[in-house]
């Protein structure tokens, strides 16, 4: 099958799927507002108090925020990576303390790694590395401002994710492809483009789309509730606006605020670790962007080819190109009748790429094997990709 036919076929299927979906969706709205958050189960005692159930946890006695903790033993003598958002002018020494099954560990000094791409904002993505003391079966971790472990009694613990038991061999990774969508905020309600993009990714073999949600419009909320019940979409609550004054822009001197673009660099970093033990490839992009292979039927066969050509490569950069707002058929301006009442932009009538201007720089999107991404690399690439 040649590429053009294959693309046409995909678009046709997508159109049908999306149509059925929207039609059914309008008639049959699930009510899932009363989903309860499961209580964490674990041993009673010193460690069972105060386990954070939030995605963003303020760190006691500091101005910093903690997001999540992951096992990461790729660097010798370091075991745990805590992902956080730290106030750059208030970095102080920190100490790691663990909950070892049900006993408090002694503290170990924390290694604080601030990402360099802060764009002038007072808060920046910061990773904290911790070593687990010997003979400790660590289940939870927190950070203290003093080496005195007794001060941990009223701290909030972070559960340690990607523990050995949930780890799998590369061959039995649960997912081939995860897409990480950077933050949703404001009253963004572009349902049509969102649905078309998600269905396109499904056709291209994506198994999971992770979305960090600060807020969104009512119709998009319903659409995403449905996709996340089905399991294709994983919604991560991202109430950054409850803790900081997030910027809608990427440069502090122009846009003001506490943190770059609703903390986008932190969420993408988080998404890579979230995917590390379960997804072979991770694609980092925005919802208004699609990576569309034109010589392969799906993303996995594209990656197999690229990987054969570049066997020792774990980070692939894909050049950004624009599809003009003008639809491909001039006489078809305006919404198609079948999308009446569906808010948003119809990407399927924009199928011709603008000829790239080779005199200007085009930014890149990333497809990574998550285990290949280490801090330094990530910083370097994120500066390229997300400006």
Ligand X SMILES: *[C@@H]1O[C@H](CO)[C@@H](O)[C@H](O)[C@H]1NC(C)=O
Q: Which residues bind ligand X (CB under 6 A)?
A: 21, 24-25, 28, 30, 101, 137, 139, 213, 215-216, 221, 224-226, 229-230, 235, 320, 322, 329, 331-332, 363
Q: Which lies closer to ligand X via its Cβ, residue 312 or residue 329? A: 329
Q: What is the dihedral of CA 329, 331, 336, 337, to 10 degrees?
A: -150
Nearest distance from C-beta of residue 154 to ligand X, angstroms:
23
Q: What DSSP letter does each residue of 149-205 carry, written as one string?
A: GGGGGGPPBEEEES-GGG---GGG-SEEEEEEEEEE-TT---HHHHHHHHHHHHHTT
**Token pair of 324, please?**
């003009």
Instruction: Give the separation between CA 260 and CA 248, rounded to whole angstroms.
Output: 7
Q: Which lies closer to ligand X via its Cβ, residue 127 or residue 346? A: 346
**Token pair of 84, please?**
């956080």
Q: Which lies closer to ligand X via its Cβ, residue 37 or residue 171? A: 37
Q: Which lies closer to ligand X via its Cβ, residue 101 or residue 313? A: 101
Quick one: 321 exposed, middle or buried, by C-beta within 10 A (0-12, 13-18, 19+)? exposed
Nearest distance from C-beta of residue 40 to ligand X, angstroms:
12
Instruction: Give the separation between CA 124 and CA 244, rounded to whole angstroms.
Output: 12
Nearest distance from C-beta of residue 112 to ligand X, angstroms:
27
CB atoms within 10 A of CB 29: 11
Q: Which lies closer to ligand X via its Cβ, residue 93 or residue 363? A: 363
Nearest distance from C-beta of residue 206 to ligand X, angstroms:
18
Nearest distance from C-beta of residue 25 to ligand X, angstroms:
4
Phi/psi of residue 17, nearest 5 degrees: -60, -45
Instruction: Give the separation between CA 15 and CA 21, rounded to whole angstroms.
Output: 10
Nearest distance from C-beta of residue 100 to ligand X, angstroms:
8
Q: Which lies closer to ligand X via its Cβ, residue 3 or residue 19? A: 19
Q: Which lies closer to ligand X via its Cβ, residue 15 or residue 113? A: 15
Q: Give Cα 84 to chain centroid, integer Å.
A: 14
Q: Which lies closer to ligand X via its Cβ, residue 93 or residue 239? A: 239
Strand blocks (E) in the chain? 57-58, 65-71, 80-87, 95-100, 103-104, 108-109, 111-114, 123-130, 138-144, 158-161, 175-184, 208-213, 233-237, 279-285, 315-319, 364-368
Nearest distance from C-beta of residue 61 to ligand X, angstroms:
27
Residue nearest to ligand X (CB): 24
Instruction: Give the separation between CA 197 and CA 223, rounded to whole angstroms.
Output: 13
Nearest distance from C-beta of residue 177 to ligand X, angstroms:
20
Instruction: Give the separation between CA 21 and CA 119, rounded to whole angstroms.
Output: 41
Nearest distance from C-beta of residue 102 to ligand X, angstroms:
9
DSSP 239: -
Q: Which lies closer to ligand X via its Cβ, residue 22 or residue 112? A: 22
CB atoms within 10 A of CB 78: 15
């Amino acid at each position: 099958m040649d590429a053009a036919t294959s693309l046409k076929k995909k678009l046709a299927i997508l159109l049908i799927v999306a149509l059925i979906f929207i039609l059914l969706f309008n008639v049959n709205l699930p009510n899932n507002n009363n989903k309860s958050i499961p209580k964490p189960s674990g041993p009673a005692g010193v460690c069972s108090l105060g386990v954070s159930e939030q995605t963003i946890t303020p760190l006691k006695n500091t101005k910093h925020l903690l997001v999540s903790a992951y096992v990461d033993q790729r660097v010798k003598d370091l075991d745990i990576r805590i992902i956080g958002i730290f106030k750059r002018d208030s970095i102080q020494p920190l100490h790691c303390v663990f909950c070892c099954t049900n006993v408090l560990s002694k503290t170990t000094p924390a290694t604080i790694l601030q990402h360099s791409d802060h764009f002038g904002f007072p808060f920046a993505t910061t990773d904290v590395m911790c070593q687990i003391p010997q003979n400790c079966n660590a289940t939870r971790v927190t950070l203290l401002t003093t080496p005195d472990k007794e001060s941990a009694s009223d701290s909030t613990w972070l559960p340690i994710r990607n523990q050995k038991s949930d780890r799998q061999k590369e061959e039995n990774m649960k997912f081939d492809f995860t897409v990480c969508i950077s933050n949703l905020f404001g009253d963004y309600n572009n349902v049509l483009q969102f649905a078309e993009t998600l269905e396109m990714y499904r056709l291209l073999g994506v198994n999971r789309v992770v979305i960090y949600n600060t807020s969104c419009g009512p119709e998009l909320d319903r659409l995403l509730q449905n996709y996340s019940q089905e399991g294709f979409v994983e919604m991560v609550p991202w109430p950054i606006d409850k803790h900081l004054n997030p910027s809608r822009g990427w440069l502090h001197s122009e846009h003001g605020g506490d943190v770059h673009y609703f903390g986008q660099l932190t969420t993408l970093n988080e998404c890579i670790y979230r995917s590390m033990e379960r997804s072979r490839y991770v694609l980092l992009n925005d919802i208004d962007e699609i990576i569309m292979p034109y010589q392969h039927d799906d993303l996995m066969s594209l990656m197999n080819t690229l990987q054969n050509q570049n066997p020792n490569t774990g980070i692939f950069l894909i050049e950004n190109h624009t599809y003009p707002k003008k639809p491909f058929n001039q006489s078809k301006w305006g919404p198609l009748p079948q999308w009446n009442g569906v808010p948003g932009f119809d990407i399927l009538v924009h199928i011709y790429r603008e000829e790239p201007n080779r005199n200007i720089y085009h930014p890149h999107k990333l497809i990574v094997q998550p285990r290949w991404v280490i801090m330094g690399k990530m910083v370097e690439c994120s500066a390229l990709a997300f400006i």
